[in-house]
Amino acid sequence: MENNEEQLPKEGQSISIKEILWLYLSKWYWFVIVLAITCGYAVYYLAKTPKVYSATAAILVKDGASATPDVSQAFSDMNLLATNVNINNEMVALKSPIIMDEVSRSLGLDVNYTVQDKLSTKILYGSTLPVSVKFLDLGDNGRGRLKMRYSNDGTIVLGPFATSGQDIDKVGNNSNVEIQLADAPSDTIDSPLGRIVLVPNEKFVSSTVPSSVDILVDRVGYGAGAQRLLGTIRTEVRDNYSSVIHISLNDTNTERAIDELSEVIESYNRNWIKDRNQISVATSNFIDERLGVIESELGNVDSQISDYQSQHQLPSSGAASDAFFQRTLSAHDELGELSVKISLARTIRDHLSNASKNFQPLPSSSALGNGNVESQILSYNEELVQRNLMVQNSSEDNPLVQDRDYQLSLARQNILSAVDGYIASLNAEMSASRSKLSSASSRLQSNPTQTKHLLDKERQQKVKESLYLYLLQKREENELSQAFTAYNTKVVMTPTVSGLIGPYSNKIMTTAIAIGLLVPGALIFMIEMLNSKVRGRRDIERLTIPFVGEIPQNGKPHKQINKLLGKKKPIDRSSDIVVKKGCNNIINEAFRVIRTNLEFMTPGGNEDSKVIMITSANPGSGKTFVALNLATVLALKGKRVALVDLDLRKGSLSLAVEAKGNGMSNYLVGNLTLKDIVVPSVKDNENVDVYPSGPIPPNPAELLYSDRMKIMVDELRDEYDYVIIDCPPAEVVADAKIINKYVDITLFIIRAGLLERNMLGEIQRFYNDDRYKNMAIVLNGTLDPTALRLNRANRYSYGYGYYGYGYGYGYGQEDKK
């Protein structure tokens, strides 16, 4: 067998934009169905999904210098206020679970309040929430649900209650509680969920919530509230050279989103101050502890110094040493003065004791320091001077002189006694001074040891006093640092709602429409690209077989939809004859073109070339349809046509003309004549007679081999202008090959959308091998643009492509495609 690929030139599969557009228009119902599904789901999704809004804020993170107040410069030596800020660390700190947990507790995010809003749910918060519910016995993360109904008269009804794991819609009305809003703050309600307290919301606006609407109170726990925040909050730095952190947070309630964002910033600042002051608090505790210890030690040192000074009579170490030194010097001076006085007194005594010097004046006694002796010596010297004057004027024997001598002798005795007494007193004073000097010298010698001991104690006292004063000062500085510590952030953009972030109605509907158009479009295009069937005239132009015409598809849109939906309907043959007298539509013109081309195929008007066999490669190609309408179009020209149904296995032609009973099977077995089985004037067409197939015989091929077959053809050739024989598919059964030896022309019907393109090579081989007489091709079921504009369906469009070889026969039942 020849390779089919050698019979036809290879061409790559291609399809033009125009052909794709016609294909899409022919499948319009695919787009309608998919668009209805996608747009319907988009509408449902928009109605079901709550709208989510984004709240944004921006904070400026200060550096270490700007985060500290000016007062800190006075205490810079403490190094307690210095900070080094890392912007990435602060971004992480803003999103820390600790911050989220504090926000959850501060705003009461452990409970969600929702109401049904059409298909979706609506979160109540702030101005839309009448009261907040506090669960006292569920712990931090206990779960529970209840329904709350608020009325405009201030009545609140709680119930039913559902614990964790229960469906609140199935628990029934268990212990419903009714309470007045005015009494709510002071009442603790006992319920299946434990004790409950209602806290009225000051921001509530009664007009925002319809009266007597059921509010679902869902207690999810603080951890769940913090986790929700952690999943929606985002931080970013939009400029690498900036320290501004942009914070955004998504929520379905705009009021809650703004409050959450504000509380995140406040909680972050509180934690920053708390962490910042931990050093100061620890320092303060340390200073207080050390002050207590030093104060106790300082008191002990003071007591020791006081006791030592009292014991040793020391005012202080330096003053005692000076005093003892001065006392020693004073004692030395006194001893010197007493020695001088004693020496002078002894000189006067020696002078008085020397008789040879009785009449000589006594030395001056002013240095003696004794007024009595000095006055006596002065009187004695005056008397002596007068006696000596008297001696010079008289003699020593003068009685006056002798009297004076006697007086002078007495005076000398008195002076001598006074001098001796004075010397004795000076010696006593000398002994006292020596004792004083000895005591002072002894104390001065022992003073260094005492001074060393006292200085050591005083040194300890000064050190502890200095440390005590320093710590007192630093404690005050530490208190000032806590009082003047400022936030390290500055809000540069207050929390605001930046807008809706989803779902976007326009975007979702646009996406739904796009999907509704793209999915069927892509599917149709893929199916068309994978389509290995003959799609139109372009596919058969490569054949060298004579082409007599093409017939557009004849069908209804609902038929295609029924096939798409899997609905089956019985074949209606009542409309198979579409050729009408005076009708000039495209399908009538197509059959007229075939009629004309058949006339050209009859060389020289040969009257013998009038028996036409119609066959195909597979069932359902439209052989019966072509036969009926070809007979009709020939009859319209005044030709008498005989339609012979030799498809003894199915009898489709007989069904189309509703010819039941006897037929060709009865004639071929010799039971009846042609006149007995003929159905004249089919469908009121007096020029067309039909010879039906009759009952289905058990041996169709053997009947066609009978001599009556040739007799039948000869009789009909003589009686009619054209004999059209409807045959079974070629090569499926042997019938067509048997009939072919009695015919003049073989019309091979190729159904667009039914015949595999790789079968074209096989058909070309039929022609090359002259297997069928005067073989010609009729293309059936091609696109009818006019019909398409009139909303008539067509399954196949023009196109061309090359596909792999593969074909299977299935004659004996209607093609389900």
Spans in the chain with pLDDT lower than 70: 1-15, 64-85, 173-174, 185-186, 302, 304-327, 331, 364-369, 437, 439-459, 482-487, 555-575, 602-609, 783-817
Token pair of 528, please?
A: 């068309």
Region class of 60: left (phi > 0), else alpha (psi between -120 and 50), else beta: beta
C-alpha 100/C-alpha 107 separation (Å) is 11
For 550, phi then psi, to 5°, come to -130, 145
For 36, the 3-state DSSP assignment is helix
Tell me phi and psi for residue 685, to 5 degrees: -105, 105
Place of tokens 């679970």: 97
C-alpha to C-alpha distance for 684 and 240, rounded to whole angstroms: 92
CA–CA gap between residue 500 and residue 504 (Å, rounded): 8
SS3 content of the chain, % helix, strand, coil (to 5): 50, 15, 30
How far is residue 285 from each of residues 374, 477, 483, 537, 774, measured CA to CA in Å?
81, 13, 16, 101, 119
Contact call for residues 197 and 189 (beta carbons, < 8 A): yes
Could you tell me how far CA 418 lies from the centroid of its own chain? 124
SS (H, E, C) 119-148: CEEEECCHHHCCEEEEECCCCCCCCEEEEE
Residue of 251, 282, 247 lying closest to 264 (CA atoms): 247
- Dist CA 130 CA 730 (whole Å): 85
CB-CB contact of 797 with 783 (8 Å): yes
- Which one, of 219, 154, 214, lies nearest residue 192 by Cα? 219
- What is the C-alpha radius of gyration for the chain, rounded to an integer number of angstroms? 69
Asked if 205 and 127 touch (Cβ cutoff 8 Å), the reply is yes
Which tokens hold the place of 417? 């006694």
CA atoms within 13 A on the CB side of 9: 8
* Predicted local confidence at residue 514, as pLDDT: 94
Q: Each residue of 166-183: b (16+ CB within 10 Å) or e?
A: bebeebeeeeebebebee
Select from 417, 416, 423, 419 the least CA-distant residue to 353.
416
Strands (E), 564-711: 611-616, 641-645, 688-691
